[in-house]
Amino acid sequence: MPELDMLVRGGTVVTPTGVKNADIGIADGRIVALESALQATSHEVIEAKGLHVLPGLIDAHVHFNEPGRAEWEGFETGTKAFAAGGGTLFFDMPLNAHPPTVDVESFDLKLEAAKSKALVDFSFWGGLVPGNLDRLEELADRGVVGFKAFMSNSGIEDFQSVDDHTLREGMKRAKKLGKLVAVHAESDAMTEELSRKYVSAGKTSIRDYLDSRPIEAELEAIQRALGLAGETGCALHIVHVSCGAGVLLIASAKKLGLDVTCETCPHYLTLTEEDVIRLGAVAKCAPPLRPLAAQDSLWEYVKAGHVTTIGSDHSPAPPTMKLNSDFFKVWGGISGVQHTWPLLITEGHVKRRVALELLSRFVSVNVAERFKLPQAKKGMMVGSDADLALVDLQQEFTIGGTDLLYRHQQSPYVGRTVKGQVVQTVLRGQSVFKDGKIVSKPVGQFVKV
């Protein structure tokens, strides 16, 4: 074997097909050997004894808000935080950037911004909004991962929600273009009517907000999206499903032959409505956090493999937008992109005994397969990009405000004690994060789908 660039020795390696003790040989950014007692010389050797070597996270759902709203986060701080959490590839959502990513002009602006600032690899979602049906083809040519639509108010003026006609037509076109459509599924009719009812009666507490976005509003929208997917034959991905009942609808439709999958997020798996009532604005999101019973059933569906991907839905905003005595007016979005691994390890693996191998699929190989990423991103195996997260599963730590690498040090996970410290993140064979520090310049590359 020729000299390696990097040898990761003695770690517990979590591959898509099993967990094993093995060495990983890396050359030219790729995994070239994965076997025990690898005999080779290497430029750099990482002693990984006692550590788990997990796949680098592929997070299919982040809002880094650049260009246009970089003061909310931006690629620089967003990707530093993500890399510190073991992240190596993210898909940026089309909204909260300004202009939103709904045509080639806005796509190219985002690509320019990310190229010089992203520490890790990236792909982009295109938006599906009223009025941009004729721009979907050019976005597909640029290589977006799919088209994202909102079925309820997005909270942002420049990204309008779709009516059923636009969603249906968008699906027809996406199918022709070989792309999937992803939806934020909450019924606009139900949430708007309930919100109006509460707000006009002066009822604007956290509890009122939760009651204005009930599980039924999510289920109604999921069902409608499934109907349209059945009618058009378009591949559908429901993002941030918050409860087991939502996953059940999707699993049933899949059984009937629909090409449909769903995502859930660490916050629905680790926080409940009690937490948002206690913590307030940092834990506001849509769909909102749910009661414990909904979370328990969500975990059951995750364990059974009915959820396909887990994405952070990192959606930060300046602290001032989190300050309002009217909870309906507070910015909805949770900052969490830095802690997906410790949260899943602690709540999923340690507490609920979910196999690491299964958890790792939700944040790497399943994402790569569902979004038809290039072969090199399809998991920890010989021939793949060497995208790795070295994690100390035993190391317990308390998430602290000042450890957060976000532009704004706010997160509902602050104060939470977790296991699974990420000690090193490797992107295409190069360390980007090591022993608590960012150790690389922005070297992220666009991954075209």
Structure-block tokens of residue 259: 């090409």
Instruction: Judge whether 263 and 309 are in contact, CB under 8 Å.
Output: yes
130 class by beta-carbon count within 10 Å (0-12 exposed, 13-18 middle, 19+ buried): middle
Min dist CB 183 to Zn ion, Å, is 9
Please tell me whether residue 313 binds Zn ion under the rule CB under 5 A. Answer: yes
Please tell me whether residue 183 binds ligand 1AL under the rule CB under 6 A. Answer: no
Min dist CB 306 to ligand 1AL, Å, is 21
Q: Which is nearer to ligand 1AL, 210 or 432 (CB)?
A: 210
Cβ atoms within 10 Å, residue 435: 8
Instruction: Pick left, alpha or beta for residue 14 (phi over 0 → left; psi -120 to 50 → alpha; otherwise beta).
Output: beta
Please tell me whether residue 269 binds ligand 1AL under the rule CB under 6 A. Answer: no
Task: Determine whether the annotation assigns residue 188 to a binding site.
Answer: no
Residues 239-258 that bind ligand 1AL (CB under 6 A): 240
Q: How many residues bind ligand 1AL (CB under 6 A)?
A: 14
Min dist CB 152 to ligand 1AL, Å, is 9
Instruction: Judge whether 117 and 446 are in contact, CB under 8 Å.
Output: no
Please tell me whether residue 184 binds ligand 1AL under the rule CB under 6 A. Answer: yes
Please tell me whether residue 313 binds ligand 1AL under the rule CB under 6 A. Answer: yes
Structure-block tokens of residue 296: 């328990």
Strand ranges of the sheet holding 126-127, from the earlier edge strand across to the other edge: 126-127, 146-150, 180-184, 236-238, 260-264, 309-310
Helix (H) or strand (E) holding 302: helix 292-303
Which position among 104, 156, 215, 355 is part of the footprint of ligand 1AL (CB under 6 A)? 156
Give the pairing type, strands 42-47 and 52-55: unpaired
Binding mask 168-207 for Zn ion (x = CB under 5 A): ----------------x-----------------------
Cβ atoms within 10 Å, residue 249: 20
Instruction: Judge whether 14 and 356 are in contact, CB under 8 Å.
Output: yes
Which position among 333, 336, 348, 412 is part of the footprint of ligand 1AL (CB under 6 A)? 333
Task: Determine whether the annotation assigns residue 61 to a binding site.
Answer: yes
Q: Which is nearer to ligand 1AL, 294 or 438 (CB)?
A: 294
Structure-block tokens of residue 147: 């088209």
Nearest to 268 by CA among 241, 307, 300, 301: 241
Please tell me whether residue 59 binds Zn ion under the rule CB under 5 A. Answer: no
> Judged by CB under 6 A, which stretch of 118-126, 153-161, 214-222, 363-371 contacts ligand 1AL?
153-161
Q: Which is nearer to Zn ion, 12 or 152 (CB)?
A: 152
Min dist CB 417 to ligand 1AL, Å, is 25
Give the pairing type, strands 430-434 and 437-438: antiparallel
Binding mask 90-129 for ligand 1AL (x = CB under 6 A): -----xx---------------------------------
Q: Which is nearer to ligand 1AL, 188 or 403 (CB)?
A: 188
The binder of 156, among ligand 1AL, Zn ion, none, by C-beta within 5 to 8 A per type, is: ligand 1AL
Please tell me whether residue 285 binds ligand 1AL under the rule CB under 6 A. Answer: yes
For the chain, state the CA radius of gyration: 21
Query: What distance in Å separates the CA atoms of residue 307 and residue 244, rounded to the nearest whole number?
Result: 10
DSSP 30-50: EEEEEETT----EEEEEE-TT
Owner of token pair 């650049």: 66
Please tell me whether residue 161 binds ligand 1AL under the rule CB under 6 A. Answer: no
Please tell me whether residue 92 binds Zn ion under the rule CB under 5 A. Answer: no
Query: What distance in Å separates the CA atoms of residue 10 and residue 44, rounded to the nearest whole number?
Result: 14
Residues 390-449 that bind ligand 1AL (CB under 6 A): none
Residues that bind ligand 1AL (CB under 6 A): 63, 95-96, 154-156, 184, 240, 285-286, 313, 315, 332-333
Contacting positions for Zn ion (CB under 5 A): 184, 313
> Annotated binding residues for Zn(2+), as ranges?
61, 63, 148, 184, 240, 313
